[in-house]
Each structure stands twice: as structure tokens, then as C-alpha cells.
Structure 1
Amino acid sequence: MTKYSNILVVADPEQDHQPALSRAVDLAKCSQDVTITLFLAIYDFSYEMTSMLSADERQAMRRGVVMQREEWLKDIIQPYLDEGFHIELSVVWHNRPYEAIIAEVFSKEHDLLIKATHDHDKIGSVIFTPTDWHLLRKCPCPVLMVKEHSWPENGKIIASVNLAADSETHDKLNDAIVTEALSMAETVGAEVHLVNAYPSTPVNITIELPEFDPASYSDAVRGHHLTSMKALRHKHGLPEEQTHVVEGLPEDVIPNVAKELDAELVILGTTGRTGLSAVFIGNTAEHTIDRLNCDLLALKPEGYVSPLSPHPEQDKIS
């Protein structure tokens, strides 16, 4: 069963239907004693600019807006409460939603954050907002970005692994990604597929070194990745037909395989201040994720310390 028992769901302030809450409830159905907190950070600049009002009056107006939104969310969660789910509400006044969300994660020690993304009208993929990117990069717990669809029975989950680097950090993160995929698959009744992209032969090498054999080089690179993938799938007990080693850039390979398999979820690792550099280099992460037409679960490496941690030094020591 999945290990998540204290889930934070970010409410969409623009609509009554809440896909992120629906996904949290789906996960809660599969586990015991799951607490879900539906969270909303609101802010209206006009209330801060009303110089005719006293500080107390402005505070009272803010409180009125918060209470109004709390009543709205109470109506949304009531059907789930009637079914026996444990759902709490938290509405705060804050001008930077991602900071408020991460502060809530720290203060209540949530072990999963779920937020809905928005479909892109033209290309069928997902639009990530600045808030989404801040959460993916800085949230200390796993972040699940969901689309507006249900997870099918006997679906497919992709574990996106990086087999290019031989380092303990990458190995641990790969193991964490595959373990998470297997755990999630067991919970929702899905099949796990491992995906790894390996680079094409650089064109400039073949020009600068006439004796260079691009075919042999490409075979050697592919061979290394296949060997590493074989070791990884053996370690986790997965059959060969559920592994994919594909030549190309991650931002092309991962969305393409996800589309071919009709995957419901892609799991990948994130690391560092620059974002998703454990799997991607530079801005390729943004290109990859924006092209995914399914849910995304982003994991942090072991020992990750959020730049928004209230106790960064203590976190490093622990």
C-alpha cells in the first residue's frame, strides 16, 4: 500500500470541481487512516490599498473573505465527509501562494502535495504555472500534479530513470523512483515501465575527428545504458518488456513513450536549486513536463533541503 497518510491538496480557486481532491480521495480509498487537508491561499491587493480603512478594518475585511472561501470549500468537501473521509480545511491570506503552501507542508509535516494542472487547449498537454514550478523545485515532499481525468484500472506508470551517470546520488534517486512507482502501482493496480533516454552521437565529434566511428560510439553508449537498465530491472524484479532504453533527448523520449503506452502517471526525480537536473539538464525539464499528457509525480533526492525550510541547518544535520 502507498505510504502517504497526510496529504495536502491545493484547491483551485476558479472552479467547484477539484481534480486534485478527487485524486487524493482515490488514494485514500486504497489506504487506512489517511488525512487530507484542502488548502487555499488567497490575496486581493485591493484590500491592502484601501487607505481609508484602519488596520483593524482591513483585517476584518480579510477575515471576511477568508470565511467566505472556507464556506465554499465546506460545501465542496461535504459529500466526501458523508462517505467517511477525513478532510480538513485551511484557508490563509498570503500574496505568494507557493510560499504559503510550502510553509503548510513544513508546519503540518505533509508527506504528499497534490495540485491540479491546466490543460493546454491546442496541443492537449499541460500548462504549468509559476506556482507549479516553484512547488516542483522547492517543496520538500513529493509533488503530484494531476490532470482532469480518472486513473484507469490496469493502467501504466512510467518511472523515468537516469542511467547516464555513475554516482551514488543518481543510483539512490533511481531506486527511489522505481520503488515509488512499484508502490503506487500496487496501490492503484497499474503496471510499471522504466524509461531511460540516451544521447545521440554529437555531430561535431564526427567532423573534428575523421577516424571517429559514430556507429561504434553509439553502440557503446547504448550498450552501457542497456546494461545499467538490466541491473536496475533485475534489482526491482521487473521483466525486460517493461523497460525502454531509447535514443534521444529526455524531453522527446519521455512524453513519446508516455503517449505510446497511454500512461496515467510519470514519476521522475528532481534535485537542486536549478530544478529537475537529476534527470534533465538546463531548461529541458520544462519542455518535457509541458509536453506530458498525464499526471506527474516529482520526487526529491534523499537529503534534499528546501530553500524555504524554516530550519535549514537543522534539516541538513538530520
Structure 2
Amino acid sequence: MHSTPVCQPTATANRICRLSALQQGGRSRPQSGFMNKQEIAMRSIQKILVVIPPLQDSLALQRGQQLALTLGAELHLLVCDQQMERRELLDQQLASLHRLGLRAHGEQARVTAHQVCDAILAACHAQNCDLLIKQHQPEELLGKLFSSPDDRQLIRQSPVPLLLVQNPRPWAGGTVLAAMDVEHQDAAHLALQGNVMDHANELCQLFGARLHVVSAYDPALLQADPSAPIDQASASHCHDQCQWFQNEYELPEQQLHIGEGPAKALIPRIALQLEAAVTVLGTVARHGLSGLLIGNTAEAVLDRLNSDMLILKPHTADAQQTEFAGHRAA
């Protein structure tokens, strides 16, 4: 791997590092053709929507508080309660946040179990939030087969990054795992590659964490060298596709984990081995029948991962482009 200068992930520094990588013969960040709506990354988050269960202790609220304190962001708490009996609990939680000097407010939504996702999305739009946090509860197999659970719907429909929390493992000084799909080179997946790496790297900077990357390959997709074994050729090609972010983020070889897929099995296995605090994934989420039948990797690992999950989509000028990507998500 070619050595590259130390670089911070700012727009100017990234351009310098990409130029340096090209000059030294290394790969640079791929150009997706997608246009960023704005520089949306962790440090630019100003308002966070936290969906809290009607309980005194909530992992989602703990993560929301931690991020708000770190980023200086405002919190909006949402309690979905058909009986509207949790106002006192909500007021107590808001008072606790105010004592920490945080800007926080909240609301109750009178909804049935089947209306929770719609209420969350409505609040996200109404409050113009930059991040959505919700506690994930694994679904029973029967429920998966006969319904589309809230978290799966949110993966497909959330207009902002979605943080699903389920593990109290500390982020500070922990491990951030970026799950990268480098096999697919369409515009949507190229946009995701940069988005996942940018967010994962910023989380590491904010919380003093270690960055690791996992990428799965499918031996059936490519045999670059007919004389080489199929799995060896596929692994080599996958490694080549990872070179741009190894250069840009100076990622040591021992922090890159390449393995034979499927991704839905490899990602949880590596996350477990590393005791990852949070796994950052991208999704080109489908709607309608194709989404119901095909799904995506973010949904596939939902109940397999034991870490928190930050789920991102490509930033595009025309969101409809993602509907025609034609590939599964990373």
C-alpha cells in the first residue's frame, strides 16, 4: 500500500489527499455522480429526534443525550403511547436533560402499534431533524414473516441517518465498524461508500474510538485472473476496491477485514469479534414490492448484530435515483 500524508476528512484536505494518492499511483475516492444536498456528517447535526419507550431508563435516550452533549445539538423526544399516560415521565426526562444544560423538548403521540412508524416519520419531518434515534427490539420470526416491523420500515423510509441502539457498550474509546460494499459500483453505492466512511471516521474522532472496516466479496461475481482460484481473485479485487479509503483515512491493513460473503453473515461475525460499539452501514433502500421481496443487507443484519447501528443512505440531488440502483445495499 502506498503511503499517503496524514489527512483530516475536510473537503479541502480530502481533495489534497486524493490528488496525492493519484500522484503516487494509489486509488482515490470514487466519483459517484451523486450531488450532496449539503455537507451532512456527524458534526453538522443540529437537531436529534429520540423515540423513547415509556420506560424510566432508555438506551435511546442515553445515546441521544451523549450525542447532544458532544455535538451541541438540540433534542426532541417522542413518546408513542396509545393511552397518553406518560406525560409525567416525559416531563421528568426533559427536566433531567435541562439540568445538563441541553436544549430539549418533547411530545406524546396517541397511536396504535400499527401507526408508530408513521408518527415517527411525521415528527422527523415536522421538527426538521438531522438524526433519528430509536431503541431496537429484535422481532420474533413470525412477526417478520407477516408484518413489516417499525425498524425495517424506518430503514427504508427515514429521510435522515437512523441510529438503532441496543447495546450499552461505551462508544468512547471503543470500536467503530464501517461495513463497506465495494463490489457494486453504480452511482448509489459509490455515494454510500464515501458517506459510510465519512460518518464512521467522524465518530472515531468525536469519541476517541478505533476505526475498523469490513467488506464481503462474492467469489461467483468475478474471476479477474483465470489462472487463480476464484476466491483468491475475488478477495484480491475486493482489496483493490478498498484501497481508496485505506489511503484517504490511513487505515492499517490489520483494521481492514475482508471475507467471503454473504455480508449478512460476515458483518455480525466481525462486529462480535471486535466487540464493536457501533456499526455504520449504508442502504439503498427499496420501497414497494421489490423492497418486500428483496430487502437489503441493513435489514438482514438487524437482528444479528449485537452493536448499535448507524444506517445511512446516499445524499442525492434527486432521491428517485436510488430507486433505480438495481443492486442490493451494503
- Bin the TM-score by the shorter chain: 0.7 to 0.9
Distance change (3 Å), C-alpha of 1:214 and 1:87: farther
- The offset of 1:80, in angstroms, is 2.2
- The answer to whether the 8 Å contact 2:285/2:295 transfers is no
Residues 113-156 of structure 1: CA deviation (Å, up to 9, x unaligned): 001123689xxxxxx98111111110100000011414143211
C-alpha separation in 1, matches of 2:296 and 2:185: 22
- The answer to whether the 8 Å contact 2:139/2:303 transfers is no
- The offset of 1:248, in angstroms, is 2.2
- The offset of 1:102, in angstroms, is 0.5
1:16 maps to amino acid: Q
C-alpha separation in 2, matches of 1:158 and 1:257: 9
C-alpha separation in 2, matches of 1:266 and 1:214: 36
Equivalent of residue 19 in structure 1, options 51, 56, 59: 59
After TM superposition, the structure 1 stretch with the greater mean CA deviation from structure 2, 148-157 or 130-139, is 148-157
- The offset of 1:106, in angstroms, is 1.0
C-alpha separation in 2, matches of 1:201 and 1:269: 23
Distance change (3 Å), C-alpha of 1:119 and 1:92: closer
- The answer to whether the 8 Å contact 2:50/2:75 transfers is yes
C-alpha separation in 2, matches of 1:232 and 1:261: 20
SS in 1 for 2:96: helix
- 2:144 matched to which residue of 1? none
- The answer to whether the 8 Å contact 2:176/2:279 transfers is yes
- The answer to whether 1:82 aligns with 2:99 is yes
- 2:162 matched to which residue of 1? 143
Distance change (3 Å), C-alpha of 1:6 and 1:185: same
- The offset of 1:29, in angstroms, is 1.9
1:21 maps to amino acid: L
C-alpha separation in 1, matches of 2:119 and 2:227: 51
- 1:252 matched to which residue of 2? 265
- Counterparts in 2 of 1:304-315, with a 5 A limit? 305=319
Length, aligned pairs only: 266
- Counterparts in 2 of 1:10-89, with a 5 A limit? 10-13=51-54, 15-32=55-72, 34-43=73-82, 65-66=83-84, 68-89=85-106
- Counterparts in 2 of 1:1-318, with a 5 A limit? 2-13=43-54, 15-32=55-72, 34-43=73-82, 65-66=83-84, 68-95=85-112, 96-118=115-137, 130-201=149-220, 216-274=229-287, 282=295, 285-303=298-316, 305=319
Query: Which of structures 1 and 2 has the bigger CA Rg?
Result: 1
1:130 maps to amino acid: P
- The answer to whether the 8 Å contact 2:161/2:311 transfers is yes
| Structure 2: tracts of 5 or more residues without a match | 1-41, 141-146, 321-330
- The answer to whether the 8 Å contact 1:230/1:240 transfers is no
SS in 1 for 2:133: strand
2:91 maps to amino acid: K
C-alpha separation in 1, matches of 2:266 and 2:164: 20
Percent identity, please. Answer: 30
SS in 1 for 2:86: helix
- The offset of 1:101, in angstroms, is 0.7
